[in-house]
């Protein structure tokens, strides 16, 4: 056993459980790759100010949860707590918005870090797949991303999730609502930290999950009553496009999300089988974020879906993913047969067949235990006598049937059987 353990609130992904994570990532990214989204990868750490400006100085992420460090050169960096700001920074730095037509459509996958109170479904290190459509203000993009996430979840076999949808307005109508909400909040009995938050960004108070706060929010003004005509029309078109695609959703007037950069469309995917940590993903439109981090006006929309939370949701529904065995053919070499079977394994791998071989000079019994553990569909067994006769023994690991096959033909026989 190692002297060291994974840091508190983090986890290691180990086979065979890690195969679920790979399958979820592939399922989420699949619809994106078919819809014009190109892959982007950003550093695991960024300038602290990128997140302070973009995510918002009043958010819990920036004030309480961000891992920060100072380099030997004096630079202040932060482990990335979310993906959108980093992806937009990368797109601006590479001038992708100048390279061709807009929007720039990107997807990403990686690890993110927040100093959370560890609990099931809420870790200090977590995995997400995200997508961003940068540089266009079009309700069809908002709808497209919601539909693609819905498609990804249903491809995985997930059924008991809900889509919550809201509009946060824009720079024209939200200031009026902000003032009305602040006036309401000033009349409540709130703690000092919440009062401070209400003055910086009162919408964040609506996102407070504490029962004592939610109880006082009854009767709070709702943003939908303050939306300007343009925001109302935009939101109705998003709703109509999602509905036309056959995707169901619920209107949620209190849905704010935890980041300051959202405007207009905001949405969340929730699963009631996860308890208090019910959100499996979410996103929205962030039309002013580019300007917040020093770029030009680039209206954009995106989402991030939690891989960890999605795996938990699948387990809550009892969904078993169809994950192929890591090994299809396992070779057991006895006597002097190892060079020959090693060559066979190499040939099978080159042709796209997952193949492995026994190592460590084990006898037949030990090597066959390895074959069973590998989950292989077929075992190829050969010793000195078999090679002298120009054959190997091909064993069907499901039925237990075993028969000799000519060495020169075994690769072709295996390809045909596995096809």
CATH code of 370's domain: 3.40.50.800
Indicate whether 387 and 249 sit together in one domain: no
Q: Which one has a higher pLDDT value, 409 or 120? A: 409
Predicted confidence (pLDDT) at residue 55 exceeds the cutoff of 80? no
Q: Supply the angle between the helices 18-33 and 307-317 in degrees, to the nearest 10.
A: 110
Domain-embedded: residue 10? no
- Report the distance separating Cα 285 and Cα 238, nearest Å: 12
**Residue appearing with tokens 């999730």:** 161
Predicted confidence (pLDDT) at residue 275 exceeds the cutoff of 90? no
Domain-embedded: residue 200? no
Domain-embedded: residue 222? no
Indicate whether 365 and 309 sit together in one domain: no
Domain-embedded: residue 194? no
Instruction: Give the single-character DSSP code of 201.
Output: -
Indicate whether 74 and 146 sit together in one domain: yes
- Report the distance separating Cα 302 and Cα 128, nearest Å: 13
pLDDT tens profile 240-258: 999 999 999 999 988 877 6
Indicate whether 279 and 334 sit together in one domain: no
Instruction: Give the single-character DSSP code of 119.
Output: B
Q: Which one has a higher pLDDT value, 101 or 96? A: 96
Residues 268, 164 contacting (CB under 8 angstroms) = yes
Extract the tokens encoding 305. 């879906």
Indicate whether 288 and 409 sit together in one domain: no
Domain-embedded: residue 169? yes
382 contact partners, CB below 8 Å, separation of at least 6:
331, 332, 333, 334, 337, 340, 341, 391, 392, 393, 407
Extract the tokens encoding 153. 């979840």
CA-wise closest residue to 260 among 28, 55, 11, 43 = 55
Residues 354, 328 contacting (CB under 8 angstroms) = yes
Q: Phi/psi at 396 (nearest 5 deg)? A: -80, 115
Residue-number span of the structural domain to which 67 is assigned: 18-173+227-317
**Torsion-angle region of residue 341: left (phi > 0), alpha (psi -120 to 50) or beta?**
alpha
Residues 327, 16 contacting (CB under 8 angstroms) = no
> What integer pLDDT is reported at residue 192 of this predicted model?
87
The β-bridge partners of 94 are none
What is the percentage of the chain residues whose pLDDT exceeds 70?
98
Domain-embedded: residue 299? yes
Residues 285, 310 contacting (CB under 8 angstroms) = no
- Report the distance separating Cα 234 and Cα 142, nearest Å: 10
Domain-embedded: residue 263? yes
- Report the distance separating Cα 168 and Cα 254, nearest Å: 10
Select the highest-mean-pLDDT range: 30-34, 167-171, 259-263, 373-377: 30-34
Select from 275, 293, 317 the last residue of a domain.
317
- What is the pLDDT averaged over residues 192-207? 84
Least confident range of 2-16, 37-51, 257-271:
257-271
Select from 297, 317, 337 the last residue of a domain.
317
- What is the pLDDT averaged over residues 256-271? 84
- Report the distance separating Cα 133 and Cα 80, nearest Å: 20
Predicted confidence (pLDDT) at residue 56 exceeds the cutoff of 80? no
What's the start-to-end Cα distance of the chain, in Å? 42
**Residue appearing with tokens 């619809």:** 31
- Report the distance separating Cα 363 and Cα 389, nearest Å: 21
- What is the pLDDT averaged over residues 352-357? 94
Report the CATH number at residue 79. Answer: 3.30.930.10
Indicate whether 272 and 348 sit together in one domain: no
Indicate whether 279 and 309 sit together in one domain: yes
Indicate whether 305 and 389 sit together in one domain: no
- What is the pLDDT averaged over residues 299-314? 96
CA-wise closest residue to 103 among 276, 286, 270, 231 = 286
pLDDT tens profile 148-157: 999 999 999 9
CA-wise closest residue to 188 among 213, 159, 167 = 213
Instruction: Give the single-character DSSP code of 274.
Output: G
Degrees, nearest 5: CA angle 35-230-140: 10
Domain-embedded: residue 98? yes
Predicted confidence (pLDDT) at residue 118 exceeds the cutoff of 90? no
> What integer pLDDT is reported at residue 57 of this predicted model?
65
Instruction: Name the 3-class secondary structure at 381.
Output: strand
Pair type for strands 161-167 and 45-47: unpaired
Local confidence band at 189 (pLDDT 50, 70, 90 cut-offs): confident
Extract the tokens encoding 219. 């009767």
Residues 203, 259 contacting (CB under 8 angstroms) = no
Indicate whether 55 and 144 sit together in one domain: yes
Indicate whether 27 and 135 sit together in one domain: yes
SS (H, E, C) 52-108: HHHCCCCCHHHHHHCCEEECCCCCEEEECCCCHHHHHHHHHHCCHHHHCCCCEEEEE
- Considering the chain, what is the average pLDDT of its residues? 92
> What integer pLDDT is reported at residue 258 of this predicted model?
62
Select from 317, 344, 373 the last residue of a domain.
317
88 contact partners, CB below 8 Å, separation of at least 6:
54, 132, 134, 289, 290, 293, 295, 298, 300
> What integer pLDDT is reported at residue 301 of this predicted model?
97
Longest Cα separation, the chain: 92
How many structural domains does the chain have?
A: 2
Indicate whether 301 and 167 sit together in one domain: yes
**Residue appearing with tokens 């039309």:** 287
| DSSP H or E stretch at residue 356 | strand 355-357
- Other Cβ atoms less than 10 A from the Cβ of 162: the count is 14
Indicate whether 349 and 246 sit together in one domain: no
């Amino acid at each position: 056993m190692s002297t060291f353990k994974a840091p508190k609130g983090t986890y290691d992904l180990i086979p065979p459980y890690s195969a679920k994570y790979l399958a979820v990532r592939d399922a989420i990214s699949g619809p994106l790759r078919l819809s014009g989204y190109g892959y982007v990868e950003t550093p695991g750490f960024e300038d602290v100010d990128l997140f302070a400006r973009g995510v918002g100085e009043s958010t819990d992420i920036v004030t309480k949860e961000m891992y920060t460090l100072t380099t030997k050169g004096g630079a202040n960096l932060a482990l990335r707590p979310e993906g959108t700001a980093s992806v937009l920074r990368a797109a601006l730095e590479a001038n992708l918005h100048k390279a061709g037509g807009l929007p720039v459509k990107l997807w990403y996958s990686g690890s993110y870090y927040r100093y959370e109170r560890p609990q099931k479904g809420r870790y200090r290190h977590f995995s997400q797949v995200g997508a961003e459509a940068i540089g266009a203000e079009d309700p069809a993009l908002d709808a497209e991303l919601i539909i693609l996430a819905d498609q990804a979840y249903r491809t995985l076999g997930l059924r008991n999730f809900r889509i919550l949808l809201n509009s946060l307005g824009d720079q024209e109508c939200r200031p009026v609502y902000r003032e009305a909400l602040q006036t309401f909040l000033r009349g409540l009995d709130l703690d000092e930290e919440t009062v401070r938050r209400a003055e910086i960004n009162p919408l964040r108070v609506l996102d407070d999950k504490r029962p004592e706060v939610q109880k006082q929010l009854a009767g709070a003004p709702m943003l939908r009553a303050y939306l300007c005509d343009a925001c109302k029309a935009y939101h109705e078109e998003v709703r109509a496009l999602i509905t036309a695609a056959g995707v169901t959703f619920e209107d949620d007037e209190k849905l704010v999300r935890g980041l300051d950069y959202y405007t207009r469309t905001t949405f969340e995917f929730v699963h009631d089988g996860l308890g208090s940590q019910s959100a499996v993903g979410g996103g929205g439109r962030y039309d002013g974020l580019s300007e917040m981090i020093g770029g030009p006006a680039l209206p954009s929309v995106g989402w991030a879906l939690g891989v960890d939370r999605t795996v938990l949701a699948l387990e809550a529904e009892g969904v078993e993913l169809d994950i192929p065995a890591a090994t299809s053919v396992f070779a057991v070499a006895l006597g002097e047969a190892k060079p020959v079977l090693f060559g066979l394994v190499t040939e099978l791998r080159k042709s796209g067949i997952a193949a492995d071989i026994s190592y460590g000079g084990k006898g037949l019994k030990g090597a066959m235990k390895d074959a069973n553990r590998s989950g292989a569909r077929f075992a190829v067994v050969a010793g000195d006598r078999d090679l002298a006769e120009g054959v190997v023994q091909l064993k069907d690991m499901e039925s237990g049937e075993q028969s000799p096959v000519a060495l020169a033909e075994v690769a072709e026989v295996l390809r045909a059987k596995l096809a």
